[in-house]
Amino acid sequence: MEQRTIAFIGAGNMARSIIAGLIEAGYPADKITAVNRTPEKSAAFRETFGINASEDGIESAKQADVVVLGVKPQGMEELLASMQDVDWSNKLAISIAAGISVSRLSEMAGTPLNLVRVMPNTPSLVGEGMSGLYAPDSVSDADRQFSGELLSAVGKVCWVNEESGINGVIAAAGSAPAYFFLFMEAMQKEAERQGFDTQTARELVQQAALGAAKMVVANPDIELATLREQVTSKGGTTAEALNVFNNKQLTETVSEAMQAAVRRAEEMESLF
Kindly list the structural domains of the chain, giving each domain's residue range(s) and its CATH number in brackets, ordered by start: 6-162 (3.40.50.720), 176-268 (1.10.3730.10)
CB atoms within 10 A of CB 187: 17
Ranges assigned E (strand) in 80-147: 92-95, 115-119, 129-134
User: What's the pLDDT score for residue 234?
Assistant: 95
User: What's the pLDDT score for residue 146?
Assistant: 97
Mean pLDDT, residues 99-104: 94
Looking at 219-249, list the stretches that DSSP marks H as alpha helix, in order from N- to C-terminal side: 224-231, 237-247
User: What's the pLDDT score for residue 11?
Assistant: 84
User: What's the pLDDT score for residue 8?
Assistant: 96
User: What's the pLDDT score for residue 125?
Assistant: 87
CB atoms within 10 A of CB 100: 22
Mean pLDDT, residues 195-202: 98
Residue 179, C-beta contacts closer than 8 angstroms, at least 6 positions apart: 254, 257
Phi first, then psi, for residue 134 (nearest 5°) are -135, 140
User: What's the pLDDT score for residue 174?
Assistant: 94
User: What's the pLDDT score for residue 98?
Assistant: 87
Beta-strand relationship, 66-69 and 6-9: parallel
Residue 94 has pLDDT above 90, yes or no: yes
DSSP state of 240: H
Q: Is the separation of the CB atoms in 100 and 269 below 8 Å? A: yes
User: What's the pLDDT score for residue 66?
Assistant: 98
Residue 59 has pLDDT above 90, yes or no: yes
226 confidence band (pLDDT: 50, 70, 90): very high
User: What's the pLDDT score for residue 256?
Assistant: 98
Q: Kindly report the CA angle at 214 between 208 and 215, in degrees rounded to 5?
A: 90
Residue 227 has pLDDT above 90, yes or no: yes
Give me the sign of the Cα torsion angle 218, 222, 223, 226.
Answer: negative
Q: What is the pLDDT of residues 130-188, one digit of tens each?
A: 999 999 999 999 999 999 999 999 999 999 999 999 999 999 999 999 999 999 999 99
Binding-site positions for NADP(+): 9-14
| Cα 260 from Cα 249, distance rounded (Å) | 17
User: What's the pLDDT score for residue 96?
Assistant: 93
Q: Kindly report the CA angle at 176 between 170 and 177, in degrees rounded to 5?
A: 130
Binding-site positions: 9-14
Query: Side by side, which strands form the sheet with 129-134?
Result: 52-54, 32-35, 6-9, 66-69, 92-95, 115-119, 129-134, 155-159
Mean pLDDT, residues 10-28: 91
User: What's the pLDDT score for residue 1?
Assistant: 87
Mean pLDDT, residues 100-105: 95
Q: How much is the mean pLDDT over the chain?
A: 95
User: What's the pLDDT score for residue 12?
Assistant: 87
